[in-house]
Structure 1
């Protein structure tokens, strides 16, 4: 079964909007674990507009499931990850002013840099993943960096799915085959939802993990957080 890691950035966004501690990020993360999720994902950005660096340290103390920290490995981010030692670090090439992640790595252009960063994290026993577009060349480039996994950037799949699911999933299925042949494990994330997750998980061979945040939290407004977490888990079976 593909594992579900819940991205809680949107919980932090809601908390930060009022300047207090409601909703309590730590309590929500613990509840999500109790509801059955396999892990918690956070993506702190330099301006700390949602997840704060202090949140990452606090979460590490209480989480019982896998902790996945995403981000661009600038010096501050790298120092934090090495201190926290999560189960997994996912390297994402987001710009400082990006609203959300909007592209995968060019693993050919940045091969040396990525290899150096991955070596740094793996020396601390942290599993590594690289955010990539569903391009066989980028997947092959990722394999040469020494990463353990790739995370397929699924925004284009989500956009195309309502009109043509088969066409939408084709490049991802092909990229996954290449990744598996090269010994890479496969994660996926970005704009996956209750509407499109079942088709994606069935169509991607060897899919280890999906990271879902924005859609899951939005759906929970109507359906309830515990219910939605279990709806995802059911679709991933």
Structure 2
């Protein structure tokens, strides 16, 4: 079983630096530069989602990040043969398996592990053998957590989108119910020996309740930090998130 950790790790997702670059084409803004700023600002890792349609992060970005980072790289990807081959070539510190649909703007929900257990177990086995810590992005649901444990994932990332949406839209009773469910399922996943990360839609207003859960080891945040950076700079946006997380854990 993973021991409780005092300092919460912050992973910074740089996908939407690439989104901005790709909106016009060319080389700027450069995701690798953003990753280096994030490192200096206190990020404990960098997350990048290589989608099948390459809508933001591209193959060259993964190449540059894998070769240059001094903090761990977390590669988010779909459970496809193409993505498995890329991960096995670069062997990032961590691989997070996520559901992916071409038409979605962002990842809309957790992976259905319980109904696809056999395929996913065989899919992640070579990644584990290559030394990657395998994370599964799932709903905060006992059935999915148990399935992730059975296929020998090391980490579950619990989808926080419903909690964040309820907060942002002022549906406070629903927000509190979602937060209670996240709290209960974080404790359950930890009891199985899984490392627990929450993620999706978290911002300055919603991060602290999750960060206060003693079972939580790492939080990965991207879109909000990149958006806030337009107004205050990427260094400042990350440092403020780091401050709020530390305060919640203290």
- Tell me if 1:31 matches 2:40: no
Partner of 1:176: 186
Q: Which moved more, 1:141-150 or 1:155-164?
A: 155-164
Kept in 1, the 8 Å contact 2:8–2:218? The answer is yes
- Tell me if 1:59 matches 2:69: no
Match of 2:70, SS state, is: coil
Kept in 2, the 8 Å contact 1:140–1:178? The answer is no
| Cα-Cα RMSD | 1.2
Give the CA deviation at 1:168. 3.0
Match of 2:217, SS state, is: strand
Partner of 1:231: 240
1:45 is aligned, of 20, 31, 51, to 51
- Between the aligned partners of 1:19 and 1:199, the Cα distance in structure 2 is 39
- Between the aligned partners of 2:181 and 2:59, the Cα distance in structure 1 is 35
Kept in 1, the 8 Å contact 2:47–2:75? The answer is yes
Kept in 2, the 8 Å contact 1:111–1:141? The answer is yes
Aligned residues: 236
Give the CA deviation at 1:90. 0.3
Give the CA deviation at 1:208. 1.1
Match of 2:26, SS state, is: coil
Give the CA deviation at 1:54. 1.6
Instruction: Map 1:71-86 to 2 at 5 A.
Output: 71-86=77-92
- Between the aligned partners of 2:237 and 2:8, the Cα distance in structure 1 is 16
TM-score with structure 1 setting the length: 0.96
- Between the aligned partners of 1:77 and 1:176, the Cα distance in structure 2 is 28
Residue ranges of structure 1 left out of the alignment (5+ in a row): none
- Between the aligned partners of 1:168 and 1:223, the Cα distance in structure 2 is 31
Q: Which moved more, 1:93-102 or 1:211-220?
A: 93-102
Q: Which moved more, 1:86-95 or 1:20-29?
A: 20-29
Partner of 1:138: 144
Instruction: Map 1:88-107 to 2 at 5 A.
Output: 88-107=94-113
1:153 is aligned, of 150, 159, 183, to 159
- Tell me if 1:124 matches 2:130: yes
- Tell me if 1:187 matches 2:193: no
Partner of 2:21: 15
1:167 is aligned, of 171, 177, 182, to 177
Partner of 2:3: none
Give the CA deviation at 1:227. 1.0
Match of 1:109, SS state, is: coil
- Between the aligned partners of 1:2 and 1:92, the Cα distance in structure 2 is 22
Give the CA deviation at 1:163. 3.6
Kept in 1, the 8 Å contact 2:198–2:210? The answer is no
